[in-house]
Chain A
Amino acid sequence: MAIYGTGILAASLLIGLLSGRLIGWLVGLNANVGGVGIAMLLLIFCTDCLRRSQRLKVPTENGIAFWSAIYIPIVVAMAASQNVLAALTGGAVAVVAGVLSVLACFALVPLVGRLGGDRSVVNEKKSPL
């Protein structure tokens, strides 16, 4: 049944968020450290186990796949509920700081992408070094 999939998804998110809070609490922070990331790993792990033992039925998969498919509309709704006015009228220092930090980080993407990790992955994409 579809609800099994949605249930696994929801439980993964909750356990992930609780773990994130726990990590935050342990380091003395009132914030969630990596909760969503932990939840993603949990979901991958759970569905992988179920698939291997052939207990992951198609309706169960659909219960997860729906939420994955509805992701972009949710992001559109998220964009529509941002405080865009405050961002644009927050003052020059805010706009300049925001713009420059985005540009600096964009520039770092190819640099950091080349650091660490095995070369083979990089070589697949980029022609001879």
Chain B
Amino acid sequence: MSLLEAFEGVFVKYSLVTAFAVVGLMVWFSYVLSDRLTKGRLHGSAIAIFLGLALAYLGGLFTGGQKGIADVRALSGIGLMGGAMLRDLAIVATAFGVRMDEFRRAGLSGVVSLFAGVVTSFGVGIGVAYAFGYRDAVSLTTIGGGAATYIVGPVTGSAIGASSEVMALSVAAGLVKSILVMTLTPFVARYIGLDNPRSAMVFGGLMGTTSGVAGGLAATDPKLVPYGAMTATFYTGIGCLLGPSLIFIVVRALV
């Protein structure tokens, strides 16, 4: 065994610890860049998230895997650290210290935003798929689901019997959406009034992609995270509910 392999063994065995160290370094580096290059105008966490996405791209390019940089054996702990388990634990923890009446005040617009978000995303996705020449209700609805989230797409597709090629497209559409929400939110926040708990809840309900909303709000203003996450968490469920039923029936009637 070479020394390099022996070293790799340590990183693999202590994968989560390695992830803490690597991510810690990335965040530190991003905040230095934020200070030095942008004088704090571009939030350090926005740079860190962008850096993460860039690493994920490189990881996919070099390993051919699906989990970004976490497919590099020595960095597999990043997948655990950024996986659903710890992510959801941390999202719930952000609710600590939030006042209940904030949620209640924005309750109705939160619910409206959920349905508006699901229907709009499906509508746009279906329209784009139609423009690209898809004419069967199954493919149209599945790609529409992908424009909602990368979970709604394949769940809808498998329920109504879409081809695997169309399902892969719907996952890709959902990934594009999630990445765009992560990176664009800090830039558009000012123009769409995203600066208070109420609009954060509306934002979460409209966007729906948990990872996108989690990243986008973290890069904009961490105080808004619990509000956006609260509504976003209902989105995928509602999308999976409406996609293969109501929306599919409407699309089938139209084409």
Contacts and interface: CB of A to CB of B under 8 A. Distances in A.
B121 A105 contact: yes
A75 B185 CA distance: 14
A86 B177 contact: no
A71 B124 contact: no
Contacts of B11: none
Nearest to A116: B108
A85 B59 CA distance: 9
A35 B87 CA distance: 13
B100 interface: yes
A59 interface: no
B177 A101 contact: yes
A105 B117 contact: yes
Interface residues of B, number: 117
Interface in A56-99: 61, 64-68, 70-99
B172 A37 contact: no
Interface string A23-56: 1100101111111110111011101100000000
A2 interface: no
A128 interface: no
A93 B143 contact: yes
B112 A112 contact: yes
Given A27-B241, A34-B233, A90-B169, A76 B45 contact: yes
A68 B20 CA distance: 15
Interface stretch (B1-9, B33-41, B195-203, B247-255): B195-203
B175 A72 contact: no
- Determine the main DSSP class of A at the interface with B: helix
Contacts of B105: 117-118, 121
Contacts of A100: 124, 127-128, 147
Interface residues of A, number: 81
A91 B173 CA distance: 9
B83 to A, nearest CB: 7
B196 A125 contact: yes
Contact of B109 (A64, A82, A112): A112
B96 A64 contact: yes
Given A12-B92, A85-B60, A97 B175 contact: no
A118 B107 CA distance: 10
B73 to A, nearest CB: 14
Contacts of B93: 9, 43, 64-68, 71
A24 to B, nearest CB: 6
Contacts of B121: 101, 104-105
27 contacts: A33-B238, A40-B226, A40-B229, A40-B230, A40-B233, A45-B100, A68-B94, A73-B48, A75-B211, A77-B52, A78-B83, A80-B23, A81-B68, A81-B78, A85-B61, A87-B172, A88-B176, A92-B132, A94-B173, A94-B176, A97-B173, A101-B121, A105-B117, A106-B192, A109-B194, A109-B199, A113-B199
Report the 5 A-B pairs with minimum CB-CB distance, sorted nearest first: A90-B172, A98-B176, A85-B60, A77-B82, A33-B237
